[in-house]
Structure 1
């Protein structure tokens, strides 16, 4: 097999492979020899079909299979011999002039991962904003639990007011025609809860039990049922009852209604939840500052194909969000005006992902088999019992899918390693201050596109995409 390099520009490479006809024919002959004993044909005893008849019957298919196998092996040999690490799957094209029985010329084009400089991780300095547990926030959550368990007393002939519960039958129509899901009975709603579409609950103020009333509303532009989004509708209501809220208590009874033993246990669980949320915000802020320092200290060329793929993900999400804005056209126009900014964000993400992966590989960061098994088991829970085993088998058989699943944990472990290398100073802040600090940063620009290079070596140099900045997703738009 002859190999000629035709392009070597930056991260772009291209090669021309020539696969001799004799190599393809040798594969065909070997395959005929393998399958002939298994062939059955009228007039011949099993396993005695002559090779020339096998070739006559199945020659074209065997030739195509042999050619495909030769091309695949040629590509893998090229990657190994040239020590290439593809950024994405190489583009392989058979020459137009190929004729069965002749030499095959194959063009291979790819982008390679850059040779990264030794990552500069010395001198990292981070500020850790810590949030003391806010007892007022704990009490506020306990109050919400209590409100959710409130009792309701029949109000008799009293007119409904905000905070009261109204039970009703309803029948909705758009342009006088009933729509799917627009009819129901005995629906109870607390006025002011915001459960129903805007304007609906406001028009329940003043109704009394036994009253029939028609109200008019307009579905929001981003309503989940797109056939109703933005359309005016009417609802014919039959008020069944009006009830007032009984006094809710934060006590042991509340805790027992929630399946716990005491108010003390409930309060402890709520305090733990508040503390965990604060710790999550602290980590998100620290991680963003860490990525900012890494981005500022490293600048190297990244594969355009990876940037384009990342930009495509960002743009698709923006388009989806624009469709749910009050004015989709204006949202899309704003996107277009900032297209270059989003492309720079995509490039930053890719660069940071490559950098984090390089740091992790150089310092022995890995996801253990036990951790991977736990990830698979957790992910399988989203499927029904009949599909879980098929999902597990799919992950075990598809390296790319396994890499997708592993990537967020791998990234977190690399970040934890870097936290351990950094000089960290603590400063106490309120939750509002910490949230404001996170919101003040450009969320899109803080994500990463992590690529686990360590897995490339186990996958013939194949490229494995990983997740974005999962740790910060709750606070940022991407």
Structure 2
């Protein structure tokens, strides 16, 4: 086998690979000899079929498999010998398309190599970590919000308003006939909750205790019960009570509703949760600062194909953000701009740098971390968690998409540990401003 370099321009590489007919025939023979003991053929005992007959019977099939194995082996050997790492899957093609058995195999291979990434001394990087303490006002505001979610209702005089609760008896009818599941007594319905058929709750705004009302609605076309889907219905409603919402008292009893022992324990939990949220936002600010520092520290040649692919992805994503009504990909071709390319170069450069730093630091994503990430995302699909979990487990590309951000965060943490980090206590408003500036950058 012979490998000859045909192109070496920047990160672009090209090679001509020749596999002689003799080498190929030898490998086919080895394969057939390995299989010979297990082959049975009419007129011969198991394992005693002559090799020439095996070649005649199975040679063509084994030849095709061997050609692919030889080419793959030549590529792998080349990357092992050269130390090159292709940025994307190499392009490989046979140049003698009129190949016949007994001919040498001529293959051309081209790719863009990943560049050598310069060493970075993280100990020279200076970072600032913003620290926000949860003030009593923020805790009280959170308590008030919890009290509203734990609200109760108390009887009121007068007509119902949006947000009130009405206690009703109702009987639903289609074509004048009651239907199964369309009746209830003493049903507490919060107006504006959207828990009933569209149009139902709106018609009960303004009713008072003792009122009787015929509520006319149409079942949605996609309604779960097929015999009701799209049908017009009338609900005979009797209003037995009107109640106004009342926020829960902020006391130990309310705290117990949220799993805390008492109000002081609930306040402590809220304070810890708020400060964890602040810390998460502050980490994003510090991460951007770190990436900016890294981007200014290194400069190296980038694989054009990676930059081009990233620029196209950025342009596509931004176009959809500007055109949210277009859900699919049936739209005009999106042109990349210099701005897209500049951003793509930064992302590719930082991606390669972080990957290199992570590899050198032997950063790995554990199975436990992957499992936790999958479970967290699976919660977005209530009732289908198991199916989502299995889908990810059987989809290597999806696994890589989920592993990448975990790996990046672990590399970021590794760099931060070595950098010079100072803490600066700021207000919640200052932190919010810093976060907003990230979106504007």
TM-score bin (small chain) = 0.7 to 0.9
**Partner of 1:46: helix, strand, or coil?**
coil
Residue 166 of structure 1 contacts residue 239 of structure 1 at CA under 8 Å; is this kept in 2? no
| 1:272 has 2:260 as partner | no
**1:51-130 residue pairs with structure 2 within 5 A?**
51-95=51-95, 96-119=97-120, 121=122, 123-130=124-131
> C-alpha deviations, 1:75-134, integer Å up to 9, x for none?
011112222111112111122232232111111111111122332545422222211113
Relative to structure 1, is the Cα distance of residues 184 and 288 closer, same or farther in structure 2, using a 3 angstrom cutoff? farther
Relative to structure 1, is the Cα distance of residues 3 and 427 closer, same or farther in structure 2, using a 3 angstrom cutoff? same
Residue 160 of structure 1 contacts residue 206 of structure 1 at CA under 8 Å; is this kept in 2? yes
Relative to structure 1, is the Cα distance of residues 191 and 260 closer, same or farther in structure 2, using a 3 angstrom cutoff? same
Distance between the aligned counterparts of 1:79 and 1:170, measured in 2?
A: 76
Which is greater in Rg?
Answer: 2
Relative to structure 1, is the Cα distance of residues 314 and 240 closer, same or farther in structure 2, using a 3 angstrom cutoff? farther
Deviation at 1:311, TM superposition (A): 3.2
**Corresponding residue for 1:457?**
none
Structure 2, unpaired ranges of 5+: 173-180, 224-231, 379-383
**Corresponding residue for 2:369?**
375
Deviation at 1:204, TM superposition (A): 5.9
> C-alpha deviations, 1:310-363, integer Å up to 9, x for none?
3344345445545534x889xx89x9687432332122111011122333444x
Deviation at 1:53, TM superposition (A): 3.1
| 1:355 has 2:349 as partner | no
**Partner of 2:424: helix, strand, or coil?**
strand
Aligned alpha-carbon RMSD (Å)? 4.1
Relative to structure 1, is the Cα distance of residues 69 and 212 closer, same or farther in structure 2, using a 3 angstrom cutoff? same
Distance between the aligned counterparts of 1:432 and 1:299, measured in 2?
A: 36
Distance between the aligned counterparts of 1:195 and 1:440, measured in 2?
A: 39
Residue 375 of structure 1 contacts residue 405 of structure 1 at CA under 8 Å; is this kept in 2? no
| 1:423 has 2:437 as partner | no
Structure 1, unpaired ranges of 5+: 172-182, 217-224, 226-233, 446-478
Residue 154 of structure 1 contacts residue 244 of structure 1 at CA under 8 Å; is this kept in 2? yes
Deviation at 1:279, TM superposition (A): 0.6
Give the length in aligned residue pairs: 407
Distance between the aligned counterparts of 1:185 and 1:336, measured in 2?
A: 55
Q: What's the TM-score once normalised by structure 1's chain length?
A: 0.72
**1:331-410 residue pairs with structure 2 within 5 A?**
339-362=337-360, 364-367=361-364, 372-379=366-373, 381=375, 382=378, 404-410=401-407
Relative to structure 1, is the Cα distance of residues 204 and 57 closer, same or farther in structure 2, using a 3 angstrom cutoff? farther
Relative to structure 1, is the Cα distance of residues 213 and 390 closer, same or farther in structure 2, using a 3 angstrom cutoff? closer
Q: Which moved more, 1:29-38 or 1:255-264?
A: 255-264
**Corresponding residue for 2:213?**
211
Q: Which moved more, 1:63-72 or 1:24-33?
A: 24-33
Q: What's the TM-score once normalised by structure 2's chain length?
A: 0.77
**Corresponding residue for 2:8?**
8
| 1:254 has 2:254 as partner | yes
Distance between the aligned counterparts of 1:69 and 1:286, measured in 2?
A: 49
